[in-house]
Amino acid sequence: MKTEMICAGFGGQGVLTIGRFIAQAGMREGKHVSWLPSYGPEMRGGTANVSAVVSDQPIASPIVSTPDILVALNQPSIDKFGPQIRPGGVLVYDTGMCPKGCNRTDIQIISAPLTELAQEIGSNRVVNMIAIGMVIGRTNVIKYESMEEDLTSFLKDRDPDLLEKNLIAIKKGMELGKP
Amino acid sequence: MEVIATRPESLREVSFTYCPGCMHGVAHRLIAEAIDEHGLINKMAGVAPVGCSVFAYKFFNFDMAEAAHGRAPAVATGIKRARPDMHVFTYQGDGDLAAIGTAEIVHAANRGEHLSVFFVNNAIYGMTGGQMAPTTLPDMKTTTSPYGRKVDDVGYPIRVCELLDTLVAPYYIERVSLLSGPDIIKAKKAVSKAIQYNKEGRGFTFIEFVSTCPTNWGMKPLESMEWARENMLPYFKPGVFRDKGAQA
Amino acid sequence: MSKVLMKGNEAVAKAAINAGCRLYFAYPITPQSELIEYMAKMMPTVGGTFLQAESEVSAINMVYGAAGAGKRVMTTSSSPGISLKAEGMSYIAGAELPCVIINVQRGGPGLGDIQPSQGDYFQATKGGGHGDYHLIVLAPSSVQEFADMASEAFDLADKYRNPVMILADGMLGQMMEPVEFKPAVTEKEMEEMGHQHESWCIHPNQDGDLKHHHEINSLEIDPVVLEKHVNHLYEKYDKIAANETRHELYNINDDNEMVVVAFGTASRIVRSAVDELNAEGKNIGLFRPITVWPYPYEALAKCIGPKVKQVYVFELNTGQMVEDVKIAVNGKVPVHFWGRVGGMVFTPEQIKEKLQACY
């Protein structure tokens, strides 16, 4: 079982972090993982994307050209990577940032106003976590428990409030992602 | 019979390869005597340059490295950082230090690297056959300035002591001359002070020797000294530019 | 020890420190910035030296000095910076100094771009600097292997008194994969390591007696002596070629109808394509050189079985490895090449198409 994923958006939106958390959680589950960012001279505001692979077998190519999952945090990301999603694959996107959405009918599309939902939870910083929750809700690439363990070890002492909001955000995402 | 002068222990029993009348031998001897006097021979390492003194690594009686052209301060930095218990110096000419190695010397000085740098300025490239150096005087003829150094075209000679004196870190900077007996005695004192500061771990020390090149200047040795006193010393004025030890 | 998810640039830096590297001199350049930043952060915590040099030229000459003083020392850069280090690498090889140089390659020539490339293969394996010399060149294909090569590179450098280059690329530097680190060298091992080069290196006399005059030097003005020295280097290189050539075989068997050759990260992408085609019933073997100097000619020659009709080489350059492959194949079967350049990276689909077209 191998899941290939692309996360894309503007630089600074945290798309690299989404990929990283998924790779980290996959590793925690004993799977093979790889995380390959696009990198460029612009530190903020440019386009950023990351390929993440989670697999039972050793990973050959870390480059993903036909993703099973695309998480898009802006419209250009859907325009660029949407056509490459494997038929039957999953697209997760933020309706607030992607006004045109995606017109493919052979894939599963899950969308929500992520920024608004994040504000309801109480922090703009949890947009990523809602998106990860949506992925977990729809696919079995990683388990919620692995995310919870990772976030807890990372944030428990540093920022318990953010930890709680992150977990709420993931659960919210999982509800939205339920088939 | 009483022996009143002998080879310093810090010089090996190897013949110098310098031209008759060349002052490199004198400069080597001053450095070797100072190292002997400060009892550093067993903890000393030197870095030789590219230029007439390229074989200096054969002459000193302790571990030596031969650097690429201009890179001696970087090589010395590597040695000193790897062996902080050793005392390290570089020996460089004007082409090596003030042309191709400008970045290395400026940044080693700027870091206050714990090195002694001995800089021999004779206003010409010797080994390659008398080409123009960064310290060649205005209108001075060399094989690559056959009509004289035209300052409008290639700029003025670089005064390295003055340049390094703009930096905060260096501990001791002095220009001395090797152009007469009394000058050499004064030069010895400066070299000894640099080695002493090096021994005490004070920081970056820099001695410039104003010297000659009878061969490439086309002069007899004594004539070249006279010429240098008249022409070089007014431009490259001897003196102490920085001595944090004396201020303290 | 458990696995950690780390970027290649950081993993190799950590592994170098674990291997006893306590001196690091470098200059910032993308895409290896995480490496120099990791060293800046971690070297002081282990009592090591981190120094950001004023240039790549200075950095490699600081390495020359520290290696001449017999200590484990490393510098790292990316393609344009490696060109600047070429002078120093030639001197280091000439003076027979052990050190490790990492090249996180990017697109060239000139300033090029900052995307992954394998365009420095010739520079790494055939020269780079002037004169007759060789670096030992290791080409990792995963973050784990990149990290493992740090200690291997230092061991080889010390064993043969020769500079060792790890030839990585921007993709490997930037990507994260799980890594398991070898245990750090112990104090005792560090102590022993610190004395291993004392027969020739710059070091103080311990007991105050004049004992040695060691010369760290690549100058031999007498051609008779220089010829002897270069011959000595090449005897050493022959020994290295005989003992240290490394490669990986993937699905190599007597029934292979095609053999594919690729190194570094490119081999990962190629492996995906090979897997898919073999699942469809084809029989393609993949040969991956791990040392690109010395090149595993004999091992590759053995892979050209009776049914192999052709060999296909894929690289992220214009085919710089092809001549080495041709030496190994020795005219037995045709050797094809396809690659991407300028920092463009091929996909498994593209490789698959190329292989299908001529299978």
Residue ranges in chain A modelled with pLDDT below 70: 40-46
Query: Which CATH number is associated with domain A2-177?
Result: 3.40.920.10
Residue B18 lies in a domain: no
At C211 the pLDDT is 75
Which residues share a beta bridge with B124?
Answer: B132
Closest-CA residue of A relative to C271 is: A60
The count of domains in chain B is: 1
Q: What is the pLDDT of residue C1?
A: 55
Q: State pLDDT tens for residues C111-153.
A: 999 999 999 999 999 988 999 999 999 999 999 999 999 999 9
Structural domain boundaries of chain A? Answer: 2-177
Q: What is the pLDDT of residues A37-79, one digit of tens each?
A: 987 655 455 678 999 999 999 999 999 989 999 999 999 999 9
Average pLDDT, chain C: 96
Can you give the pLDDT at residue C2?
A: 87
Q: How far apart are CA C176 and CA A27, in angstroms?
A: 11
What angle do helix axes C143-160 and C223-243 make, rounded to 10 degrees?
A: 140
Compute the average pLDDT of residues C35-56: 98
Give the pLDDT confidence score for residue B1 in this predicted structure. Answer: 82
Gap from C167 CA to chain A (nearest CA, Å): 18
Residue B13, domain member (yes or no): no
Q: Are A90 and A179 in contact (CB under 8 A)?
A: no
Query: What is the DSSP-derived secondary structure letter of residue C222?
Result: S
Examine residue B64 and state whether it is found in any structural domain, yes or no. yes
Check residue A40 and give its pLDDT.
Answer: 64
| Residue B16 within a domain | no
Residue B83: domain span: 24-247
> Residue A41: what pLDDT?
57
CATH number at residue B222: 3.40.50.970
pLDDT band at C58 (very low <50, low <70, confident <90, very high): very high
Alpha carbon of C292 to those of B244, C81, C124, C207, C267: distances in Å?
A: 53, 20, 9, 45, 13
* pLDDT computed for residue C28 by the predictor: 97
Task: For residue range C75-93, list pLDDT tens digits in order.
Answer: 999 999 999 999 999 999 9
Q: What is the pLDDT along chain B (248 residues), one digit of tens a residue?
A: 888 889 999 999 999 999 999 999 999 999 999 999 999 999 999 999 999 999 999 999 999 999 999 999 999 999 999 999 999 999 999 999 999 999 999 999 999 999 999 999 999 999 999 999 999 999 999 999 999 999 999 999 999 999 999 999 999 999 999 999 999 999 999 999 999 999 999 999 999 999 999 999 999 999 999 999 999 999 999 999 999 999 76
Q: Which residues on C lie below 8 Å from A81 (Cβ)?
A: none
**Strand, coil or helix: C206:** coil
Instruction: List chain C residues with CB under 8 Å of A154.
Output: none
On whether residue B6 sits in a domain, the answer given is: no
pLDDT score recorded for residue C64: 98
Main-chain phi, psi angles of B45, to 5 degrees: -140, 140
The number of C-beta contacts closer than 8 angstroms across B and C is 134
Mean pLDDT (whole number) for C253-266: 98
> What CATH number is given for C4-195 in this structure?
3.40.50.970
Task: Find residue C275's DSSP bridge partners.
Answer: none
What residues in C contact B65, CB-CB < 8 Å? 64-65, 68, 202, 215-217
Kindly state the average pLDDT of the residues C305-333: 98
Backbone torsion region of residue B51, taken as left when φ is above 0, otherwise alpha when ψ lies between -120 and 50, otherwise beta: left
Alpha-carbon span B48 to C96, nearest angstrom: 18
Q: Does B15 map to a domain?
A: no
For residue C64, what is the nearest residue in chain B, using CA coordinates? B75
Name subunits touching C (3+ CB pairs < 8 A).
A, B
Whether B157 is covered by a domain: the verdict is yes
Encoded tokens for C78: 């990316």
pLDDT of B248 = 64
% of chain A surpassing 90 pLDDT: 88
Tell me the CATH number for domain C248-358.
3.40.50.920
